[in-house]
Structure formats: C-alpha cells, structure tokens
C-alpha cells in the first residue's frame, strides 16, 4: 500500500490502521510503503506505473487526486485516467486553531481582528497548495479577510510553529491538533465540517459563522486503471468488510470511515477537482 506522504500524517495513520485489518481479511501481509515527496506526486506516479495486478494499491487523497490537478500544469499522472477507484477509507475535517496568546476565542472574533488588522494575522500550512493552505485561502475568500500565509515543508513543523506562538493560526488535521487543544496549548475555533461533530459537540463548525465554508480531507484506495474488474471488486469487498471494525479507532483520532465504492469515489473526484481548481485559480496559486 503506497502512501505518498511521510509517516505520521493523516494519510499514513489511516493507511496503517487499514493495512493491519486488511492483512487478516485478505490472508496475506499488507505493508505500507511511504514514498513521500513533491506534494505526493512521487508516490502517486509510482502507483500509476505499477503492475495492474492488485498487489500494489495507492492510498490516494484530496491532495493527490484533486488539488494537484489545479496546482501543476504538467502533472505527471492523470488522477482520473490513470487510476481506478477501489473504495473509500477515511474522512476528517480540519480544525481551525489559534495560539492562546492571541486572545481569539471564536471565529467571529478572528474575523473582527483580521478586518481591523488586515494582513497582520498569520496562518501556517504544510506548504504551498496543500490542504491546510487551500483551507486558509477558502476561508479568506468567504470571510472577506486578509491573512498572511506562512508555508512550511510539511504540516508537522507548521503545527509546531503555532504551538510555539511563532504563527497565529492554522487549519490543522484533527489527529494532530486535537490533543494540543485539549491540553490548552491551542485554542480550537471551529471544525471545517458543515456541522458540528457528534464526538466534539462543544466545538462549533466554522460554517456557523462563515456560511458555505466546508473543508474535509479524505483518503481512498486506488489501483492502476488497467487492473481487472474482479480484482478491484475483491479489494473493495475486503475494505468494506473491515471498515466497520475501524470506526472506534478512527473516532479516537477524529476520523470517520468513508464508505463509498468506485462509482461514488469517481463522482467525488469530479466534484473535488472542479471545486479546488476554482479556489486555486481565484487565489492565483501555482506549484510549478
């Protein structure tokens, strides 16, 4: 199972939890192969060029299969033509957090401060064009505010900078930011799901203050496009069988199973590519 990002992130965590269960379901070891680099392009391209025999699967993401389309003019793979969707795996909103020293306790206060001091408040991200960056750009557009983007090499150092007070805000993943929020090192302002999460009822959704704002990261399994249909269906069945057993473990990390087959994932790709390409072009972001 190729993961196109470094160990420890949202994609890697979901992959390792799934791989452990799939090993039992399929009756053979499923190993996670981290091939990080170039915003997920290196690992994703390797998966696209692998033998279409079902023995190599890719844990694709919103970045590799939607956002990169708008970011790179010369993307070395086509997320639609080069891959066949297998099954959804996990989804999770981000969490908008602030450093306690800023005195910002909710989204309304953030917007008021940002409008009073345009371009002063900073938000960190895992790099230009990453989901944490584009969440910030979408927020700026819908809320009508000006925030200063501070990109890092990955999300981990960006989150560390917010915790240290070197950066003011961040749209971080729940598995990363929730423990720090619970321990008071970060102030949780809002989840980026359309509604509050049942597991976190005291944290409002950003959309309660900024209508239309919704941002969720997701992962799904993909195989090379030429993979025979019976193999895809076998992998899909195995994944669907184990997902219910992962619900509790996922919930501990702020994740939810993404129960979706190839048809649903294909529709998700079309809508996500169109949505994020529009955001990227409006913000004039390029990664080439």
Tally: H helices and E strands in the chain: 11, 10
Q: Which of 255, 103, 264 is nearest to 187 (CA)?
A: 103
Beta bridge partners of 216: 93
Position 126 confidence tier, pLDDT thresholds 50, 70, 90 = confident
Q: How far is CA 24 from CA 92, 238, 242, in A?
A: 25, 10, 9
Question: What 3 state SS string does 56-78 have?
Answer: CCEEEEHHHHHHHHHHCCCCCCC
Instruction: Measure CA 274 to chain center.
Output: 17
Q: What predicted TM-score, i.e. pTM, was given to this entire model?
A: 0.85
8 A C-beta contact, residue 74 and residue 288: yes
Structure tokens at 100: 């306690």
More confident residue, 264 or 286: 264
Q: How many CB atoms lie within 10 A of CB 40?
A: 23
Q: Which of 95, 45, 89, 58 is nearest to 219 (CA)?
A: 89
Position 65 confidence tier, pLDDT thresholds 50, 70, 90 = very high
For the chain, domains (ranges, CATH) are: 2-92+217-282 (3.40.190.150), 93-208 (3.40.190.10)
Euclidean distance between CA atoms 3 and 145, whole angstroms: 35
pLDDT at 288: 63
């Amino acid at each position: 199972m190729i993961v196109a990002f470094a160990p420890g992130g949202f994609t890697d965590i979901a992959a390792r939890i799934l791989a452990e269960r799939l090993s039992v379901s399929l009756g053979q070891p499923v190993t996670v192969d981290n091939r990080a680099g170039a915003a997920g392009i290196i690992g994703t391209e390797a998966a696209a060029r692998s033998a279409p025999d079902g023995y190599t699967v890719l844990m694709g993401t919103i970045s590799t299969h939607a956002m990169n389309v708008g970011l790179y003019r010369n993307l070395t793979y086509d997320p639609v033509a080069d891959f066949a969707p297998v099954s959804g795996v996990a989804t999770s909103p981000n969490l908008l957090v602030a450093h306690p020293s800023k005195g910002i306790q909710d989204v309304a206060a953030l917007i008021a401060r940002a409008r009073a001091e345009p371009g002063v408040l900073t938000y960190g991200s895992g790099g230009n064009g990453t989901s944490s960056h584009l969440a910030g750009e979408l927020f700026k557009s819908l809320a009508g505010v000006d925030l200063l983007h501070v990109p890092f090499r990955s999300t981990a150092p960006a989150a560390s900078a917010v915790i240290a007070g070197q950066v003011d805000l961040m749209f971080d993943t729940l598995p990363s930011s929730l423990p720090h929020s619970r321990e008071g090192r970060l102030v949780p302002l809002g989840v980026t799901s359309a509604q509050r999460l049942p597991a976190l009822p005291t944290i409002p959704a950003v959309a309660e203050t900024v209508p239309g704002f919704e941002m969720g990261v997701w992962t799904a399994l993909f195989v090379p496009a030429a993979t025979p249909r019976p193999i895809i269906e076998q992998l899909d069945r195995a994944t669907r069988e184990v997902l219910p057993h992962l619900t509790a473990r996922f919930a501990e990390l702020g994740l939810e199973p993404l129960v979706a087959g190839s048809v649903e994932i294909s529709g998700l790709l079309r809508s996500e590519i169109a949505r994020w390409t529009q955001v990227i072009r409006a913000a004039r972001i390029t990664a080439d």
